[in-house]
Amino acid sequence: MKKTEKDMNAKKGPLRPDRRTFLTTAVLATPLLLSEASKHAFASPQSKRSPKAERATATDFSRSYCYYIPKSVPIWVRIQIECRCELIDRATGNSDEYFLSVRTQTGLRSEPPSDALDPGYDFWMIFSKKHIFIKRVHTSSYNNNPSRLGVDEFVTSGGHLQQCPARPLRSGAEVAAAFRAWQAVMARTEFASHDGSRTYAIEYPVKWSDGNPDNTFRVETGPVVLLDPNRVEVGKTLEFDDFQWAYLDYHSFDRARCFLERPTSIFSGATCPLGGLAAPRNPALPALTPEQVDQIEKRLYTGWEPPIPVDGLRKLLQTDHYSAVEYVPVVTRLYALDQPCKSA
């Protein structure tokens, strides 16, 4: 039988409460501290680049982590970094840095486990110098339940970016060859404000990719978090809603298709196969049309007294889904990591 998080923690002694306890009662600590080797995994867009410098290092995200120590108990928490983000003011050279953690999930603390008493949820953390933002997703419904915690409420927190020798991939042929050679490929994608005063850059591992016989390529990867460089400014405190959750899809170095997460009705585009799991290739029922969705929702939300307010009922039948698409001009650089990586 699968052990709950509470069971596993109980064997480790009283100083190891479950992860949910930290995320709901602990708050975070001293300013984000990075080792010198961790800073600026790639040169900032406004700095001068030489071919030799470009070949120096890139980030090995498989060995890059955020960490924190709560004030409540003396444990050291390490979380793998999903992507690194940087908002840059080109006039001053000042920048703000953010780290997105990988996704994890809370355990059920009630005994026996009960979704009704203590529902688990998926969560991600965004680390910055002043705050740590936590996104929570309850799988049964859309649940806008984020938090922003001041880092001064933790004993310490920080991040470590592991550097590796790397070489830039400047053509589709080089990209495809690196994919076929099983090399880890890292990327930096830059978004510029309309007036060119600010750049938003993200660095991330390429997880899903195509290397084609005609030397074209495709990258599909994420999740990443985006900030709008036309609206946010370096040095300003951000709200959780300033971050846009996205996946990227691109075939070139100068344009990307961004799949953007939106709260979406579970009826939107809903369909189901006519067969079951034993016949996955059976034709599916056509997806619901907007008119059919409207019919269903009118029947659900009108003509009766629901047990919860109608606005709550609508949210209950929504989920976070990548339901919007934007095509954006970008500057993307891809790097193949040399193997084996050197220890920092």
Average pLDDT per run of 10 along the chain, which is 344 residues long?
Answer: 38 37 34 34 37 65 92 88 96 96 76 67 89 79 74 90 92 90 93 96 93 86 93 93 93 94 80 56 69 90 90 82 88 88 48
Domain ranges of the chain: 5-42+50-264+323-337, 267-316
Rounded-to-integer distance, Cα 162 and Cα 53, Å: 17
What pLDDT was estimated at residue 232?
Answer: 95
Pairing of strands 166-169, 185-192: unpaired
What pLDDT was estimated at residue 82?
Answer: 95
What pLDDT was estimated at residue 318?
Answer: 80
What pLDDT was estimated at residue 336?
Answer: 94
What pLDDT was estimated at residue 22?
Answer: 37
What pLDDT was estimated at residue 53?
Answer: 39
What pLDDT was estimated at residue 256?
Answer: 96
The answer to whether the beta carbons of residues 208 and 220 sit under 8 Å apart is yes
What pLDDT was estimated at residue 12?
Answer: 35
**Other CB atoms within 10 A of residue 316 CB:** 15
